[in-house]
Amino acid sequence: MRTGCPYGTHRVIEPKGLLPQPAWRIDNDMVIYDNEVLIDVDVLNIDSASFTQIEDEAGGDETRIREKIMGIVAERGKHHNPVTGSGGMLIGRVAQIGQALEGKTPLKVGHRMATLVSLSLTPLRIDRIKKVHKDIDQVEIEGKAILFESGIYAVLPEDMPDTLSLAVLDVAGAAAQTAKLVRPGDRVVVIGAGGKSGLLCLHEARKRAGITGRVIGVAPREASKKRAESTGYCDSVVTADATNALEVLGKVREANDGQPADVTINCVNIPHTELSSILVTKDGGTVYFFSMATSFTAAALGAEGVGKDVTMIVGNGYTRDHAAISLHIMRESPVLRKIFEQLYT
């Protein structure tokens, strides 16, 4: 077997010298190196920002969505949306383990598993798209993928359907980071509260802020608002256009007794929502941008432009034990489990 770099640089075609994620094109030949894992892929969970962009560009037409997904992978060797810069994750079954990993990984051939690294760095080959699930951003395929030695993953739990596990694991970083950021008594605003990452964040925000804190949800539509309200985790949920910073500011102020947030979590899947998050947050507060549609430039210059001294955190999709924390929420919260099962199974 060929010897590979732990970080997958041996797969980079162009530009040379980069890691697989920022590279434009990588090698998706499915003959593995000695430190790689070969996966028979069943489902791709395209990240929300990427799927929304593809669907909009395709005019909602399923055939065109298939063509665009196939085209991205054919051109780049990975599912790395050139517009949003994001990817997603996958579930499948371990088909082969490289010689250098034997005895060093808990994975075994045949294990059902989910990758917890982005499709934007994962060598992927799609042989056929079997079905597109537009309502949950998932695509059933026949194909193969490679997990690098440094790649993180989760063996799928036996007490949950695969599609439910995938939906939760896709946004596992959001809830786990929220658990680290929110303190007892905090006022927390979750923008995009009715989506899957937002719902998980509501749970952790309520749990960590406690009875002395306040949790305010911001949702774009009535259906999302009702979904967030049904959890029982919010003191109030408002409907507002997250791209309209003054509308969000006014409604959050009204719902929060005129007070700004200590912590704001942005979980939306569209661009131009940075200032809404910044304006509702107090000086010295924290804004966590989990959204892959976030512009660092817009956030940095926007905060400067309105004179806000806030700590802004890029939504790292990984934090220690994030998979275990997020899957535990499904076991701990019957109301969220019911919502997720209705939406994703």
Copy the structure tokens of residue 37: 């894992």
Per-residue confidence (pLDDT) for residue 329, from 0 to 100: 96
* Average pLDDT, integer, range 307-318: 90
Backbone angles phi, psi at 199, to 5 degrees: -65, -45
- Rounded Cα distance between 117 and 36, Å, is 14
Q: Which pTM was predicted?
A: 0.81
- The confidence band for 167, taking pLDDT boundaries of 50, 70 and 90, is confident
Query: Could you read off the pLDDT of 90-113 as tens digits, one per residue?
Result: 999 999 999 999 888 899 999 999
CB-based burial label for 246 (10 Å; 0-12, 13-18, 19+):
exposed
Which own/partner pairs from 157-160 qualify as long-range (CB within 8 Å, at least 24 positions apart)?
157/327, 159/331, 160/327, 160/330
Torsion over CA of 258, 260, 265 and 266, rounded to 10 degrees?
70
316 contacts: CB under 8 Å, gap ≥ 6 = 173, 177
Does the domain made of 172-344 have the CATH classification 3.40.50.720? yes
Residue 17 C-beta-side C-alpha neighbours within 13 Å:
1
Does residue 258 sit in helix, strand or coil? coil
Per-residue confidence (pLDDT) for residue 337, from 0 to 100: 96
Whether residue 270 has pLDDT greater than 80? yes
Per-residue confidence (pLDDT) for residue 289, from 0 to 100: 96
End-to-end Cα spacing for the chain: 39
- Rounded Cα distance between 65 and 92, Å, is 22
| CA neighbor of 35 nearest in space, from 77, 106, 112, 96 | 96
* Average pLDDT, integer, range 140-162: 93
Whether residue 188 has pLDDT greater than 90? yes
| CA neighbor of 178 nearest in space, from 31, 288, 50 | 288
Average pLDDT, the chain: 95
Helices (H), the chain: 48-57, 62-76, 162-170, 172-181, 196-209, 222-230, 245-255, 274-279, 296-305, 322-332, 334-344
Taking a C-beta distance cutoff of 8 angstroms, is the pair 299, 276 a contact?
A: no
- C-alpha distances in angstroms, 7 versus 14, 41, 99, 124, 154? 16, 21, 17, 16, 18
The single-letter DSSP state of residue 317 is S
- Rounded Cα distance between 147 and 151, Å, is 6
Going from N- to C-terminal start, the domains of the chain cover 9-156, 172-344
Whether residue 345 has pLDDT greater than 80? no
- Rounded Cα distance between 80 and 78, Å, is 6
Q: Helix, strand, coil shares of the chain as percentages rounded to 5? A: 35, 25, 40
Radius of gyration over alpha carbons of the chain, in Å? 20
- Rounded Cα distance between 161 and 341, Å, is 9
